[in-house]
Amino acid sequence: MRRTLYLETFGCQMNELDSELVLTQLRARGYESTDDRQQADVILYNTCSVREHAEQKVWSRLGEMRNWKQTKPHLVIGVIGCMAERDGTNIFQRFPHVDLLCGPGELDKLAMMIDNLTTVGNQLHSERQVALMGSRSRRSSTLAAAHDNLELLDLSRSFSPTDNAAQAYVRITRGCNKFCTYCVVPYTRGPEVHRPPENIIEEVRRLADAGVLEVTLLGQTINHYRYDHGDGRITTFGQLLYQIHEAASHLPRLRFVTSFPRDFEDEALQAMRDCPRICRYLHVPAQHGSDRILKLMNRGYTAEQYLQFIGRARAYMPDISLASDFIVGFPTETDQEFQTCKEVIRQCRFKNSFIFKYSLRPGTTAITRFEDDVPPEVKKQRNNELLDVQAQVCDQNNREMVGRQVEVMVEGQSKLASRWVAGSGNGNQVELGWEKRQKSQDADQPKFQLSGRTRGDQIVVFDGDPALVGQLVEVDITRSKTLTLFGRLTRDRRPVTAGV
């Protein structure tokens, strides 16, 4: 019997990768994916718990489906990922129509769980609800077992060129041991586990063989990667980078996220400097500029140490592109302390910063230890002020790019072009400007506007053939806006494709 699956993903790149692996496993069992929830036999939400807002989106999705089982009793509804792990069976109590919960550390068993549920068929919901979680309890004895099972999930990925796009994620580390006081990740993803280097290298090499042009290595504190082979040999993060770069010599772009500002060895910076196909880009969240707040957050470094690290990275690679995260409105944050975040952004000249308002997370140390005493309107105000400072820095950075030639990974048609093709203007100045320009140039032959990213992760928009999506091209930067660079395809160079 043909069964259809709807899978929606929230949260970080780890979840995107997990969804891809889950999809591969379910396709192998005969499932076809659909974009229409109403058509699906199995509906899965791969969820994120990092901020309350992320969870609310899933609550509303689940709320909408309260009565769906009345007309479709065989429907299976599942919550997988970090919310399943954090909230556990409370989800069943709140949403009795949910059939399945599966934490991120148990996804290797998901396909089997779904198979079992679909054979149980039309029983009462309460009789067929199943749940598998356990990252938390696994903090001790069964770590090795969890490691092996999850390794099988990563190893199950498809290397067929038809299943792979131009960009792919490869996990090198699972979990996190840092326990920043505000963060749920160590509780949802469990302890830090490093994958064997030979498996990682083989995975990257085979993806490159399949035509993938850009691999992003994933880990919550990726620079802490360190694999103990058990025979006296250790593979460090720097060594891993050198080894992947050498083994996958046909991969044009290798990048990694997310870096932790402490314990970033020189060897890894040297690898970035020495290996031409490793992108000179670091996403290295500062979180705050005040030592007192950094301490309350349990980040383990001072603002000065953070700035020193940035200085060290720039000394190795003056052209490095840097991105950061900040949390505003952490408990007890004063206005003066908040101002220090602006200084960090100005000094580090980040390419961009993700700025978040502190969100109370059940189960974390911060929620039990500190009162959430910064009022919502102050959080909002600080969030906007920091965005403004970052926008000024972006503007300056982007101006400096005008006149340069950059390599761009074409990721898709920009929103602008699709709106134009659909023939609707919506009053937005930028879009109307582009529409007018295109129409006056050549009314009968619509050109498409493409968007992509530089090696430093900057967004570039330019006119081009949609067939270029998924390729690397050279673009001359002609103009800049705060968040976007605009350019034109370089005339004298053919697009770079796999194997060339």
Residues in contact with ligand SF4 by CB under 6 A are: 176, 178-180, 183, 185-186, 220-221, 260
Binder of residue 186, out of ligand SF4, ligand SAH, ligand F3S, none (CB less than 5 to 8 A by kind): ligand SF4
Tell me the closest approach of the beta carbon of residue 352 to ligand F3S, in angstroms: 17
Q: Of 44, 45, 51, 191, which one interacts with ligand SAH (CB under 6 A)?
A: 51
Query: Residue number with the shortest CB distance to ligand F3S?
Result: 11
Q: Please identify which residue in 50, 310, 322, 393 interacts with ligand SAH, judged by CB under 6 A.
A: 50
Q: Considering CB distances under 5 to 8 angstroms, the limit depending on partner class, which of ligand SAH, ligand F3S, ligand SF4, none binds residue 351?
A: none
Q: Which does 166 bind (CB under 5 to 8 A by kind): ligand F3S, ligand SF4, ligand SAH, none?
A: none
Torsion sign over Cα 89, 94, 97, 102: negative
- Does the footprint of ligand SAH cover residue 338 (CB under 6 A)? no
Cα–Cα distance for residue pair 55/186, rounded to 1 Å:
17
Contact 219, 256 (CB under 8 A): yes
In angstroms, the CA 380 to CA 385 distance is 9
Determine the Cα–Cα distance for residues 284 and 257; give it in Å rounded to an integer.
8
Please report whether residue 327 would count as binding ligand SAH according to CB under 6 A: yes
Q: Which of 216, 176, 164, 171 is nearest to 197 (CA)?
A: 171
Instruction: CB nearer to ligand SF4: give 191 or 456.
Output: 191
For ligand SF4, the closer CB: 182 or 281: 182
Binding residues for ligand F3S, rule: CB under 6 A, are 11-12, 14-15, 48-50, 81-82, 184-185, 188-189
What's the CA gap between 298 and 294, in Å, rounded? 6
Please provide the DSSP assignment of 217-272 as one string: EE-TTGGG-EEE-SSS-EEEHHHHHHHHHHHTTT-SEEEEE---SSS--HHHHHHH
Quick check: 402 and 480 in contact, CB under 8 A? yes
Q: Which residues contact 236 (CB under 8 A, 6 or more apart)?
A: 225, 226, 265, 267, 268
Nearer to ligand SF4, 6 or 309 (CB): 309
Q: Which does 15 bind (CB under 5 to 8 A by kind): ligand SAH, ligand SF4, ligand F3S, none?
A: ligand F3S
CA-based diameter of the chain, in Å?
A: 69
CB 209 within 8 A of CB 159: yes
Task: Work out whether 342 is an interface residue with ligand SAH (CB under 6 A).
Answer: no
The answer to whether the CB of 417 falls within 8 A of the CB of 430 is: no
285 part of the interface to ligand SAH, by CB under 6 A = yes
d(CA 55, CA 240): 35
Q: Does 287 bind ligand SAH (CB under 6 A)?
A: yes
258 binds ligand SAH (CB under 6 A): yes
List 80's β-bridge partners, or say none. Answer: 46, 102
Phi, psi dihedral angles at 81 (to 5 degrees): 90, -155
Q: Are 237 and 265 in contact (CB under 8 A)?
A: yes
Q: Is there binding between residue 309 and ligand SAH (CB under 6 A)?
A: no
Q: Find which of ligand SF4, ligand SAH, ligand F3S, none residue 179 binds, CB within 5 to 8 Å per kind.
A: ligand SF4
DSSP helix/strand/coil, 8: strand
- Closest approach, Cβ 176 to ligand SF4, in A, equals 3
Question: Read out DSSP for 20-41?
Answer: HHHHHHHHHTTEEE-S-GGG-S
Using CB under 6 A as the binding rule, whether residue 220 contacts ligand SAH is answered as yes
Among positions 19, 223, 359, 398, the unique one binding ligand SAH when judged by CB under 6 A: 359
Residue closer to ligand SF4 (CB basis): 104 or 186: 186
CA distances from 401 to 120, 177, 319, 351, 405 (A): 60, 38, 11, 12, 8
At 273, which amino acid appears?
R
From the CB of 355, what's the least distance to ligand F3S, in Å? Answer: 15
Residue 325 interaction partner, one of ligand SAH, ligand SF4, ligand F3S, none, beta carbon < 5-8 Å per kind = ligand SAH
Nearer CB in complex with ligand SF4: 128/226: 226
The residues near 390 (Cβ < 8 Å, ≥ 6 apart) are 345, 350, 352, 353, 355
Report what 6 binds from ligand SF4, ligand F3S, ligand SAH, none; CB cut-off 5-8 Å by kind. Answer: none
Query: Closest CB to ligand F3S among 50 and 472?
Result: 50
Instruction: Considering only the stretches 182-190, 412-420, 452-460, 472-480, report the one whose residues sit in contact with ligand SAH under the rule CB under 6 A.
Output: 182-190
Q: How far is CA 395 from CA 279, 280, 345, 453, 460, in A?
A: 22, 20, 13, 17, 14
Considering only residues 360 through 399, tell me which ones interact with ligand SAH, judged by CB under 6 A.
Answer: 361
Q: Which two tokens stand for residue 282?
A: 């670091």
For 59, the token pair is 């609550």
Structure tokens at 392: 């000024």
Nearer to ligand F3S, 189 or 253 (CB): 189
Q: Give the one residue of 95, 182, 306, 462 binding ligand SAH; rule: CB under 6 A.
A: 182
Helix (H) or strand (E) holding 253: strand 253-257
Residue 240 binds which one of ligand F3S, ligand SF4, ligand SAH, none, with CB within 5 to 8 A depending on kind?
A: none
Give the single-character DSSP code of 108. Answer: G
* Partner touching 51 among ligand F3S, ligand SAH, ligand SF4, none, CB below 5 to 8 Å by kind: ligand SAH
Q: Report if residue 49 touches ligand SAH, rule: CB under 6 A.
A: no
Binding site for ligand SAH (CB under 6 A): 50-51, 182-183, 185, 220-221, 258, 260, 285, 287, 325, 327, 356, 358-359, 361
